[in-house]
Amino acid sequence: MPSAPETPWWKDAVCYQIYPASFKDSNGDGLGDIPGILSKLDYLKDLGVDLIWVSPMYVFTQVTFPGVDMGYDISDYQKVYPPYGTLKDMEDLIEGCHKRGMKLILDLVVNHTSDQHAWFKESGSSRDSSKRDWYIWKPPRYAEDGTRLPPTNWRSYFSGPAWEYDEQTGEYYLHLFAKEMPDLNWENPEVRKAIYDTIMRFWLDKGVDGFRIDCVNMYSKEPDYKDAPIVDPKFYEQPAWCYYANGPRIHEFLREMHEQVLSHYDPVTVGELPHTRDPQEVLRYVRASEKQLSMVFQFDIVDIGQGKEYRYYYQDWKLPEFKGIVAKWQQFIEGTDGWTTVFCENHDQGRSVSRFASDAPEHRVASAKLLALMLTSLTGTLFLYQGQEIGMINIPHTWPITSYKDIESVNFYHAVAAKTNNDPAELAYVMRSLQILGRDNARLPMQWDTGVHAGFTDCEKGPWMRVHDAWREINVAKQLAQGETSVLGFWKQMIRFRKQHRDVLVHGSFEGFGMDDEKTFVFGKKTQDGKKVAMVALNFSGEEQEVQLPDTPGYDELVFTVGSYEDAEDMETTKSIRYYQNLTTRLLTQARALGIIWQLQMSE
């Protein structure tokens, strides 16, 4: 059933995120680029993609690649990082997407700039600079013994203080991320106008269809700049998100952005919204009547397993926690004019097969299909990350810290080493955590075929980052040859199925069953009028499980439609489910993490 005419296009879209450095190298320099993306547009169209999100491709800090933070340290928003290509390449990419009926969005990174940006160079030149107030500068504090201290004890996301002292002007500037990435002062209306005019309008006028907005809830800081509560006495610096996330003027700023820029185009906006677990607070960002954002990435699902004080202190978790999070963010928009997203991977997270199921060789394919089945059955706009469609997995356990590139991971490892005098147990724990949660897991080169360097590049020196050891087993070419039985083939089927039944899968209401069960995840979906229902049963264990299906109206006579079983005999056996009443059934294979889904058109 097609969506109603008034439904925004982006609600039904399947979006695919591309990390330029790691997607496809077209010129043999070992680094992915914009022409490489252009060469794979037909592949993405065939997958079922409607919208492409390209992570930062702007000019960033001019140091040896990968720079400070892989392109999030931007020094010129109107130019393309030369190894990635040219402005003309970006114009060709936009046109190429539109010719194929796809749309394209860019990362809008405006909480901070690079310290090499012309604005910051001018701001730091003197206390009397006309742009001094474009960034957040504060005088030092002093301890009783005269030791100079930063203005607050806030910790940077990349470890260490969130303040950097400038000898020339005798003040500190705020950087929530690396010291080379100073925070812009959104309190200054001149800053906001410059962002609207020279960044947002510049790219919207070139035809981009919207933005994924980085750190969207961090623009408004707590005005008194208080010290953060001490949660770990081993460190002076403490996490301070309670003072810079969802600040007092954030909704005012976003409404202004919408009124002055977005309302004059037809864009989609997807905000990155960490540290926001209250559904009512999230609704303030995504309700259509608020005129702020189309939707946001709410982070509870990808925060699973992260330590409370330190992200890279991995904590074990149980399936009911995962299910509760899915249910919470499926149901919070019901009865409202808000919208939500469906995702479990991006450039900042470990791979979902490794994190939420099993990447063991005997379970990997089934696990990838399980997650595909779950995601394509959930309400909201669906986001895939490059390589997710072929079931790429995390970095092998055997890789040492020297194989990691990410500033956040490497800095944290060395910070712990310094604080613990290189304690072997502590460092082993950090490495285990990084192997599960680290950002580099998602940044390994895309695995295209069984050739050298997985078909990502033909550079003699190899790619900018090491290719996964399993590229010969997990790659696009192999799965294309396998057809519908592959992870890639299953994703294609499920994306088509999702679009065919968008009324119940994209827009339907969610109901979970047996939410305390630690082995299986069973949920139902219903259209708004209740005339069409679906049931999804997912086995997250490595063993055969029985599932009690509800006998509530609408779910008591369900017809088998599609499943992630690979064996034909299993497929035929599970079809017998349709003859049961008050359904009690069994997921019949021993393979880990298989699922089944039913769909029923109810009578009028």
Looking at residue 400, what DSSP letter applies? -
Radius of gyration of the chain (CA): 24
Catalytic residue among 89, 115, 164, 214: 214
CA distance 604 to 602: 7
Q: Which two tokens stand for residue 405?
A: 């590139």
CA distance 346 to 376: 16
24-to-5, 441, 458 alpha-carbon distances in Å:
37, 17, 10
CB 267 within 8 A of CB 209: yes
Helix (H) or strand (E) holding 250: helix 250-260
In this structure, which amino acid lies at residue 100?
R
Where do we find the tokens 């003309």? 88
62-to-67, 81, 113, 116, 157 alpha-carbon distances in Å:
7, 9, 13, 8, 22
C-alpha 408 chain-centroid distance: 16
Pairing of strands 103-108, 210-213: parallel
CA distance 107 to 119: 20
Half-sphere exposure of 363 (CA within 13 A, CB side): 20
CA angle at residue 170 from 164 to 171, to 5 degrees?
45
Catalytic residue among 164, 272, 348, 503: 272
**Residue 272 a catalytic site member:** yes
C-alpha 539 chain-centroid distance: 24
CA distance 61 to 518: 47
C-alpha 505 chain-centroid distance: 21
What are the φ/ψ torsions at residue 475 (nearest 5 degrees)? Answer: -160, 160
Sequence-distant (6+) residues with CB within 8 A of 568 are none
CB 53 within 8 A of CB 212: yes
Helix (H) or strand (E) holding 358: none
* 531 Rama class: left (phi>0) / alpha (psi -120 to 50) / beta: alpha
Helix (H) or strand (E) holding 425: helix 424-437
**Residue 460 a catalytic site member:** no
Where do we find the tokens 């897991």? 441
CB 168 within 8 A of CB 79: no
Dihedral over alpha carbons 54, 59, 65, 71 (to 10 degrees): -40
Q: Which two tokens stand for residue 11?
A: 């609600």
Nearest to 207 by CA among 104, 351, 62: 104
DSSP states along 326-351: HHHHHHTTTTSS---EE-S--TTS--
C-alpha 412 chain-centroid distance: 21
DSSP states along 43-86: HHHHHT--EEEEPP-EEE--SSTTTTTTT-SEEEEEEE-GGG--
547-to-387, 470, 588 alpha-carbon distances in Å:
31, 34, 11
Would you please indicate which residues are annotated as catalytic (active-site) residues?
A: 214, 272
